[in-house]
Amino acid sequence: MRSVTAILQKIFTAQFYIQNTGFFLVLFYLMFGVVDSGSLLPYHRGLMLGFLGNTVFLLLVLALWTLYALKCTGFVMKVLQSQGYEFLYPTMGSMDKNKRLRAWLLVHNAIYLPVWLYAGTAMVVGFRYQYHGAAVCILLFNIAMAVWPVALYDRKLFQPDTFFFTGYLQRWLNRHFTKPPVLYFLYELFTQFPRRILSAKIISAVVLWLTFFLMHQGDYFDLRGLQLGVMVSVLLHLQLLTHHRAFDDTWLNFMENLPISTFRHYIRMAAIYLMMWIPEMVMISVNAYTKTSPLSLLMVFAMALSLLMFFRSLLYFPKMNNELHVRYVLLTCFVVLFMVLGHNEWLAILLLQTLSAIVFFAKYRKYEPHIEP
């Protein structure tokens, strides 16, 4: 049982946290980075007392935890549907039912753990400050979120055609629409991984809203502050970039052999990330068009696009795993941040675009998916 659990944790838990590194970096920034260390405990205690004592606020928090639970459930279901994991069906299907359910329970709660930690702390605060009803509600809610997906996972083992509702959406779209190559990956995200892109976009919007809110509270507008928020927003998309490589490796490797120039492939990559970042561009334009010039807004958008394209191009290097990719991404952000603070934004954009093009044109035709030994 212990060895089976260890294998399942590597397949599901480890990969979940690796693929969602950007999401958790931004979440950590929102929860702990926006408040100075001396006010951190009073801030979170006040936040917990706020939703413990307000029904509407509590329902909003429960809705956010539900979205995270759906994200966890969707991830496990997608892994079970992914190529290369077919061995899980006969392996787990032959286990004793009670042992199998315990294994699923451990897997799901390992990736649901962040909510358990925060909710558990909130329950302790609730019982201490006499909010017994809200604390019990949180306990029962999280027990439900920790248990119901287990039945879905177990059903999937014996009914492999069980989908997490997005499979039906994909089948309907396939019957009614013909899409150009530039939309292949975005179509994949919206049909197969809607919770992934939805969570990325929601937290990205929160980061940008928080950036504008802090500047509004200080009664100032700083373009460099906006660009810092944009960099954090781009970091949130790291999981989508990693998924883009996996999608290309699995489904689009045939395109390298088509009579299409490398330049057109490069333009396709730029168009993908330009369309992906349209919601953020709209939000920034609405909040900043009266506070800065159109050229400055163009610079902010170009910076975001350049970072996305460079981070994606890095994934064309052989043996570039997720851990190594995150290191290069953080190093790049560190360098770009100092260039932004020194008002060298256009130079940073030029360097990022030049390096992206060099890496892409040198590696695209030679790239082969790397398999870890």
pLDDT tens per residue, range 30-48: 777 666 667 778 888 888 8
Specify burial of residue 254 (Cβ count, 10 A radius: 0-12, 13-18, 19+).
Answer: exposed
Distance CA 314, CA 364 (A): 11
Asked, for residue 174, whether it belongs to a domain, the answer is: no
Asked, for residue 172, whether it belongs to a domain, the answer is: no
Q: 370: pLDDT confidence band, cut at 50, 70 and 90?
A: low
Chain Cα centroid distance, residue 294: 30
**pLDDT for position 295:** 92
| Residue 211 contacts residue 225 (beta carbons within 8 Å) | yes
**pLDDT for position 173:** 66
Work out the mean pLDDT of the chain and round it to a whole number: 85
- Does 37 share its domain with 155? yes
Give the domain extent around 18. 2-163
Chosen domain end from 110, 131, 163: 163
Q: 160: pLDDT confidence band, cut at 50, 70 and 90?
A: low
- Does 69 share its domain with 107? yes
- Does 108 share its domain with 8? yes
| Residue 112 contacts residue 96 (beta carbons within 8 Å) | no
Chosen domain end from 163, 197, 223: 163
Distance CA 284, CA 300 (A): 9
Look up residue 165 and give its DSSP letter.
S
Q: 259 versus 33: which is more confidently predicted?
A: 259
Q: 167: pLDDT confidence band, cut at 50, 70 and 90?
A: low
- Does 190 share its domain with 244? yes
- Does 235 share its domain with 284? yes
Residue among 308, 75, 340, 20 at smallest CA distance from 192: 75
Q: 4 versus 262: which is more confidently predicted?
A: 262
**pLDDT for position 171:** 67
Mean pLDDT of all residues in 12-28: 81
- Does 106 share its domain with 213? no
Which amino acid type is present at position 358? I
Q: 92-135 pLDDT, tens per residue?
A: 777 788 888 888 888 888 999 999 999 999 999 999 888 888 89
Distance CA 234, CA 104 (A): 33
- Does 137 share its domain with 262? no
Distance CA 139, CA 296 (A): 48
The Cα-based distances of 332 to 56, 280, 282, 336, 339 in angstroms read 41, 21, 26, 6, 11
- Does 111 share its domain with 249? no
Specify burial of residue 371 (Cβ count, 10 A radius: 0-12, 13-18, 19+).
Answer: exposed
Mean pLDDT of all residues in 14-37: 76
Q: Any alpha helices (H) in 252-321, and if so which ranges? A: 262-276, 278-288, 294-314
Q: 284: pLDDT confidence band, cut at 50, 70 and 90?
A: very high
Across 24-33, 54-63, 232-241, least confident range: 24-33
Asked, for residue 372, whether it belongs to a domain, the answer is: no
Q: What are phi and psi of 59, to 5 degrees?
A: -65, -35
Which amino acid type is present at position 3? S
Asked, for residue 370, whether it belongs to a domain, the answer is: no
- Does 246 share its domain with 339? yes
The fraction of the chain above a pLDDT of 70, given in percent, is 92
Distance CA 16, CA 10 (A): 9
**pLDDT for position 353:** 96
Mean pLDDT of all residues in 41-65: 87
**pLDDT for position 164:** 54
Q: 373: pLDDT confidence band, cut at 50, 70 and 90?
A: low
Distance CA 3, CA 51 (A): 41
Q: 103 versus 277: which is more confidently predicted?
A: 277
Look up residue 178 and give its DSSP letter.
-
Asked, for residue 288, whether it belongs to a domain, the answer is: yes
Chain Cα centroid distance, residue 136: 30
The Cα-based distances of 283 to 214, 238, 279 in angstroms read 16, 20, 6
**pLDDT for position 34:** 64
Distance CA 112, CA 135 (A): 18
Most confidently predicted of 90-94, 176-180, 219-223: 219-223
- Does 31 share its domain with 69? yes
- Does 64 share its domain with 129? yes
Which amino acid type is present at position 354? T
Asked, for residue 168, whether it belongs to a domain, the answer is: no
Mean pLDDT of all residues in 302-322: 91
**Count of the separate structural domains present in the chain:** 2
Mean pLDDT of all residues in 286-305: 91
Which amino acid type is present at position 74? G
| Residue 25 contacts residue 101 (beta carbons within 8 Å) | no
- Does 146 share its domain with 186? no
